[in-house]
């Protein structure tokens, strides 16, 4: 089934189908060696991320979505297959990558601003040139007044916003987000979904977004890759043709409901939803 593209709702919105491919995953397999027998984490993954698209990996925990993201980030080696970013074979963490994890991973000893500038330091770029962009970025997330605060003075939602700013500071061509809102409460999560969509619409970054929330995936994505487990594989890829900007109210529209119902049937078929 992998690679099949479907759209339960007619595409009346401009899609990214014609855009050039930024990331190419070909026949990815990932096996963890273990004394009690090998664990097949990813099986025959084929996936493309197009330039400027928001692609979600949606699946239950343990389906290998995080592993896939880590392979793509060059943080983990694949067992077979190949990853190409911008046509180049991936052998180590690529340049122009922004990454957000489930935990904000802010450095306690740095202020908010210094945290945002961390990738600049790692890349040995002149820090003073990025001060203003960093402050502007913080401004878009309503964090400008907190630039000189320390992470422990901020709420969970604010910390995760800082982590997103940090991922965006270097103008990455590819943004990887591994369940970035998984540890947040529902209201903060909703707010961040809308903020993220706003930023994405403006900057048109290519985003790979991992989530296990069906509404979150549909609300944000251009396409949703639904994953199944044992071993992790891509079951189906769905083109989400809902018009933008999408709001929280979009979730109540019939089209949206049709999308989520459709995704649910996939999970039911996979046996991951017992309802």
Partner 1 sequence: MTEVATRAPKPAQQRSASPSRPPGSHARFLILFFLITVAAWQVLCKVTGVRSYIFPGPTDVFHELLTGSGFLFWHTLYTMTATLVAFAISVILGIILSIGIVYSRLLDRTLFTSLVATNAVPKVAIAPLFILWIGIGIESKIVIAILVSIFPMVVDCVVGLRSVDPGLLDLARAYRGSTLQTFWKIRLPNALPSIFAGMKVAISLSLVGTIVGEFVGSNWGLGFVILQSQGQYNTARVFAAILILAVLGTLLFQLLDWAELRVIPWHVSHRNRHGHA
Binding footprint of partner 1 on the chain (CB under 8 A): 70, 73-75, 92-93, 95, 97, 99, 101, 103, 105, 107-109, 118-119, 121-123, 141-143, 145-146, 149-150, 152-153, 155, 157-158, 187-188, 191, 195
C-beta of 123 vs 269, nearer to partner 1:
123
CB of 193 to partner 1, least distance (A): 13
CB of 2 to partner 1, least distance (A): 27
Q: Are 126 and 134 in contact (CB under 8 A)?
A: no
CB of 37 to partner 1, least distance (A): 25
CB of 120 to partner 1, least distance (A): 9
As a whole number of angstroms, the distance between CA 139 and CA 73 comes to 28
C-beta of 104 vs 239, nearer to partner 1:
104
> Helix axis angle, 156-168 relative to 186-203, nearest 10°?
20
C-beta of 23 vs 270, nearer to partner 1:
23
CB of 23 to partner 1, least distance (A): 15
Q: Are 120 and 172 in contact (CB under 8 A)?
A: no
C-beta of 175 vs 241, nearer to partner 1:
175
Taking alpha carbons only, the member of 216, 112, 220 closest to residue 164 is 112
C-beta of 155 vs 265, nearer to partner 1:
155
CB of 119 to partner 1, least distance (A): 5
CB of 157 to partner 1, least distance (A): 6
The size of the chain, in residues, is 275
Provide the 10 A C-beta neighbour count for residue 190. Answer: 17
C-beta of 118 vs 273, nearer to partner 1:
118
C-beta of 46 vs 144, nearer to partner 1:
144
Q: Are 73 and 145 in contact (CB under 8 A)?
A: no
CB of 101 to partner 1, least distance (A): 6
Taking alpha carbons only, the member of 167, 157, 162, 166 closest to residue 146 is 162
C-beta of 109 vs 126, nearer to partner 1:
109
As a whole number of angstroms, the distance between CA 144 and CA 55 comes to 29
């Amino acid at each position: 089934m992998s690679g099949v593209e479907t759209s339960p709702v007619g595409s009346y919105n401009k899609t990214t189908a014609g855009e050039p491919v930024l990331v190419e995953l070909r026949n990815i397999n990932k096996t963890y060696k273990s004394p009690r027998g090998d664990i097949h984490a990813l099986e025959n993954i084929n996936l493309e991320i197009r330039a400027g698209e928001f692609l979600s990996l949606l699946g239950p925990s343990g389906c290998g979505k995080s592993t896939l993201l880590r392979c793509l980030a060059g943080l983990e080696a694949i067992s077979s297959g190949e990853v190409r970013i911008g046509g180049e074979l991936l052998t180590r963490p690529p340049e122009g990558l922004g990454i957000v994890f489930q935990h904000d991973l802010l450095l306690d000893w740095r202020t908010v601003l210094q945290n945002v500038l961390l990738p600049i330091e790692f890349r040995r770029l002149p820090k003073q040139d990025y001060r203003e962009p960093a402050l502007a970025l913080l401004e878009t997330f309503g964090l400008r007044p907190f630039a000189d605060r320390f992470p422990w003075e901020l709420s969970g939602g604010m910390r995760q916003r800082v982590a997103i700013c940090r991922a965006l500071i270097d103008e990455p061509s590819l943004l990887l987000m591994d369940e970035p809102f998984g540890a947040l409460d529902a209201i903060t999560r909703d707010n961040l979904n809308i903020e993220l969509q706003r930023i994405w619409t403006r900057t048109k970054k290519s985003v790979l977004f991992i989530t296990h929330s069906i509404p979150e995936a549909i609300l944000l994505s251009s396409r949703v890759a639904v994953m199944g487990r044992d071993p992790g594989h891509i079951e189906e890829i769905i083109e989400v043709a809902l018009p933008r900007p999408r709001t929280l109210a979009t979730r109540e529209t019939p089209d949206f409901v049709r999308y989520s119902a459709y995704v649910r049937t996939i999970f039911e078929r996979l046996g991951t939803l017992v309802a």
